[in-house]
Amino acid sequence: MSQAKPLRSSFSGPLVGAIRAPGDKSISHRSLMLGAIAVGETVIHGLLEGEDVLHTAAAMRLLGAQADRDSDGVWRVRGVGLGALQEPAQVLDMGNSGTAARLLMGLVAAHPITCVFTGDASLNKRPMARVTTPLEQMGARFVGRSGGRLPLTVVGSDHLTPITYRLPVASAQVKSAIILAGLNTPGATTVIEAEPTRDHTETMLRHFGATVTTERQEDGALAVTVIGQPELTGREIHVPSDPSSAAFPVVAALLRPGSDVVLKDVGMNPRRTGLYDTLIEMGADITFENQRDQAGEPVADLRVKHSRLRGVVVPADRAPSMIDEYPVLAAAAACADGDTVMLGLKELRVKESDRLAMVADGLTACGVALEVGADDSLTVHGTGEPPKGGALIATAMDHRIAMSFLVLGAATAEPIKIDDGAFIETSFPGFVTLMNGLGAKITEV
């Protein structure tokens, strides 16, 4: 990774304009992986070209697929077919991406190859046992550090056994890893989730020709089943704009009087829109225009105008649909009128950083009153006005912490500085240029 890039965000005027946030990261990762195991060519429009996704593209090349970018920005993937991934001659470096690492572990586990996974300093601290445990039950083997942390060796097999696995914690990454392992496993592999998580893997697999079913259980849980060894055929994919990335200009526009911003082609998968539901409950003026469907994924243009926000209670069962958006929601809550209570945030402690602690420490330094509950809740006491700001925020190599406090800095009386904005490129290339184009004032320190 490049050297640290300190940034300052200062009080700005209205944000105005029409933009397209980068392509959806979750869909971009999956389109490269599934294209690599399909027969024929997969053509991908709008792929996110952030560092996380580029690591996935590099990994698929090492596994035998072709993944190349045309001069017009279109990506073409020539797949090797299901079960035909090759043993890589090098270590698979997944950079900062937990999604890429966990999903790809599931994919290679069902191939008779040995792969070594590693990542950057942040990723190598994150727990992988939640993925390796069910994959070991299927018959794969893993050798890694304590807690299953990277660097980690996967010893795969094409003789895995299908399982029925109930997720102990809501996680689309774990669900997807098991489903991807089940692709090259004969029979039916089932994952049961008590709370619905993002379903991009299931939607895209159907698009490629796999049989994937979702059934409601008597206890209300969802059972997702994939039938192994389908014939996957290359497809055309239009990657929508990432709702998690769009969240930053959306919240920035809400906080600045006079703002009127349009975000084009935003993915509106209902399992990803918890933040937008919450902001609307808080009084946000967000309208959804030109609603349409692309390869099974709902898409819309969002028009966002400045709004006076009020505090709300965000229920724990909404967490899976907005787990990456709590930092920027906390920034909005800091400017809202009244208390915003966010429940069920335990998963935030095992993201790129301990995001719950990072958000709490950063907001406190900016003059925001709050409490972190013993139950991993966060209560932000808003006054109806932006806080003072003026803090230097330690980002711990976490792109979402960095962007959230840069958004808040556009509204605070005193500028907010972050110690490193270099990692923003992993998920939102061009973030500073795009925000400044709307009227923000983000500068290098």
Please work out, in degrees rounded to the nearest 5, the angle formed at the alpha carbon of residue 10 by the alpha carbons of 6 and 11. 165
3 state DSSP class of 278? helix
Confidence check: pLDDT of 1 > 50: no
pLDDT attached to residue 2 = 62
Is 26 assigned a ligand-binding role in the annotation? yes
Q: Quick one: average pLDDT of 274-278?
A: 98
The span from the CA of 120 to the CA of 96, in Å, is 6
Is 353 assigned a ligand-binding role in the annotation? no
Q: Quick one: average pLDDT of 149-175?
A: 96
Is 311 assigned a ligand-binding role in the annotation? no
Closest CA to 434 of 266, 263, 285, 301: 263
Quote the percentage of the chain above a pLDDT of 90: 94
Fold of 25-158+201-208+234-238: UDP-n-acetylglucosamine1-carboxyvinyl-transferase; Chain (3.65.10)
Model confidence, pTM = 0.90
pLDDT tens digits along 320-368: 899 999 999 999 999 999 999 999 999 999 777 799 999 999 999 999 9
Whole-number mean pLDDT of the chain? 96
Closest CA to 271 of 165, 175, 376, 172: 172
Is 324 assigned a ligand-binding role in the annotation? yes
pLDDT attached to residue 78 = 98
Is 417 assigned a ligand-binding role in the annotation? no
Is 318 assigned a ligand-binding role in the annotation? no
Is 98 assigned a ligand-binding role in the annotation? yes
Q: Quick one: average pLDDT of 175-200?
A: 97
Q: Quick one: average pLDDT of 46-55?
A: 95
pLDDT tens digits along 285-330: 999 999 999 878 999 999 999 999 999 999 999 998 999 999 999 9
CB 172 within 8 A of CB 158: no
- Locate the domains of the chain by residue range: 7-23+240-444, 25-158+201-208+234-238
Specify the residue for token string 């990657």.
Answer: 239
Catalytic residue among 24, 52, 324, 420: 324
Give the pair of three-digit tokens for residue 180.
Answer: 């991807």
CA distances from 11 to 14, 29, 443 (A): 10, 35, 12
Whether CATH 3.30.70.3270 fits 7-23+240-444: no
Is 310 assigned a ligand-binding role in the annotation? no
Confirm whether 7-23+240-444 and 25-158+201-208+234-238 share one CATH topology: yes
State the Cα torsion 94-98-103-106 to the nearest 10°: 90
Count CA within 13 A, CB hemisphere, residue 48.
31
pLDDT tens digits along 60-106: 999 999 999 999 999 999 999 999 999 999 999 999 999 999 999 99
324 noted as active-site residue: yes
Confidence check: pLDDT of 281 > 90: yes
pLDDT attached to residue 148 = 87
